[in-house]
Protein backbone atom coordinates (compact mmCIF):
# COMPACT_ATOMS: atom_id res chain seq x y z
CA UNK A 1 0.00 0.00 0.00
CA UNK A 2 2.80 2.45 0.85
CA UNK A 3 4.57 1.68 -2.42
CA UNK A 4 1.43 2.56 -4.39
CA UNK A 5 0.99 5.79 -2.46
CA UNK A 6 4.61 6.74 -3.02
CA UNK A 7 4.28 5.99 -6.74
CA UNK A 8 1.17 8.17 -7.01
CA UNK A 9 2.91 11.04 -5.19
CA UNK A 10 5.92 10.81 -7.51
CA UNK A 11 3.72 10.76 -10.62
CA UNK A 12 1.74 13.78 -9.43
CA UNK A 13 4.96 15.65 -8.64
CA UNK A 14 6.38 15.10 -12.15
CA UNK A 15 3.08 15.89 -13.84
CA UNK A 16 2.69 19.17 -11.98
CA UNK A 17 6.35 20.02 -12.59
CA UNK A 18 6.00 19.58 -16.33
CA UNK A 19 2.84 21.70 -16.46
CA UNK A 20 4.53 24.60 -14.68
CA UNK A 21 7.53 24.35 -17.03
CA UNK A 22 5.39 25.59 -19.94
CA UNK A 23 4.87 29.25 -20.78
CA UNK A 24 1.85 30.80 -22.53
CA UNK A 25 2.65 33.27 -25.32
CA UNK A 26 -0.16 35.71 -26.12
CA UNK A 27 -1.20 36.19 -29.74
CA UNK A 28 0.38 39.11 -31.59
CA UNK A 29 0.65 40.75 -35.00
CA UNK A 30 3.89 40.57 -36.99
CA UNK A 31 5.20 43.66 -38.73
CA UNK A 32 3.76 42.36 -42.04
CA UNK A 33 0.25 42.25 -40.49
CA UNK A 34 0.10 38.45 -40.03
CA UNK A 35 -1.58 37.39 -36.78
CA UNK A 36 0.21 34.70 -34.74
CA UNK A 37 -2.18 32.77 -32.47
CA UNK A 38 -1.41 32.41 -28.78
CA UNK A 39 0.38 29.18 -27.92
CA UNK A 40 2.41 27.34 -25.31
CA UNK A 41 6.19 27.05 -25.49
CA UNK A 42 8.77 25.40 -23.29
CA UNK A 43 10.13 27.74 -20.63
CA UNK A 44 13.11 29.77 -21.83
CA UNK A 45 16.57 28.68 -20.70
CA UNK A 46 20.06 28.36 -22.13
CA UNK A 47 19.58 24.83 -23.50
CA UNK A 48 18.30 23.93 -26.96
CA UNK A 49 18.07 20.21 -26.19
CA UNK A 50 14.83 20.57 -24.22
CA UNK A 51 12.98 22.64 -26.85
CA UNK A 52 9.97 20.88 -28.36
CA UNK A 53 11.27 21.51 -31.88
CA UNK A 54 14.58 19.72 -31.19
CA UNK A 55 15.03 16.24 -32.67
CA UNK A 56 14.05 13.55 -30.18
CA UNK A 57 11.44 15.72 -28.40
CA UNK A 58 7.69 15.90 -28.95
CA UNK A 59 5.37 18.87 -28.42
CA UNK A 60 2.91 17.66 -25.73
CA UNK A 61 0.12 19.91 -27.04
CA UNK A 62 0.29 19.09 -30.76
CA UNK A 63 2.06 15.72 -30.82
CA UNK A 64 4.46 17.11 -33.45
CA UNK A 65 7.93 15.57 -33.29
CA UNK A 66 10.98 17.83 -33.22
CA UNK A 67 13.20 17.95 -36.29
CA UNK A 68 15.83 20.62 -35.56
CA UNK A 69 19.44 19.73 -34.87
CA UNK A 70 22.03 22.14 -33.54
CA UNK A 71 25.36 20.86 -34.84
CA UNK A 72 26.81 17.40 -34.36
CA UNK A 73 25.10 14.18 -35.32
CA UNK A 74 21.72 14.00 -33.70
CA UNK A 75 20.21 10.52 -33.54
CA UNK A 76 17.99 8.73 -31.08
CA UNK A 77 21.14 7.22 -29.58
CA UNK A 78 23.25 10.37 -29.40
CA UNK A 79 20.99 13.19 -28.26
CA UNK A 80 23.87 14.73 -26.30
CA UNK A 81 25.54 15.62 -29.62
CA UNK A 82 22.56 17.62 -30.94
Mode of pairing for the β-strands spanning 22-25 and 39-42 = antiparallel
Residues 41-72: pLDDT tens digits? 888 888 877 888 888 889 888 899 999 887 65
The stretch 8-30 carries a mean pLDDT of 75
Are residues 72 and 49 in contact, defined by beta-carbon separation less than 8 angstroms? no
Report how far apart, in Å, the C-alpha atoms of 67 and of each of 24, 27, 42, 51 are: 22, 24, 16, 11
Q: Binning pLDDT at 50, 70 and 90, where does residue 1 land?
A: confident
Where do the structural domains in the chain lie, given as residue ranges? 13-81
Q: Is the pTM of this model over 0.75?
A: no
For residues 82 and 7, give the distance between their C-alpha atoms in angstroms, rounded to a whole number. Answer: 32
Amino acid sequence: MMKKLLLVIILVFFTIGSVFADTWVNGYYRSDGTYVQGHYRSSPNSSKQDNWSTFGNTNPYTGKKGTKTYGGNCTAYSLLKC
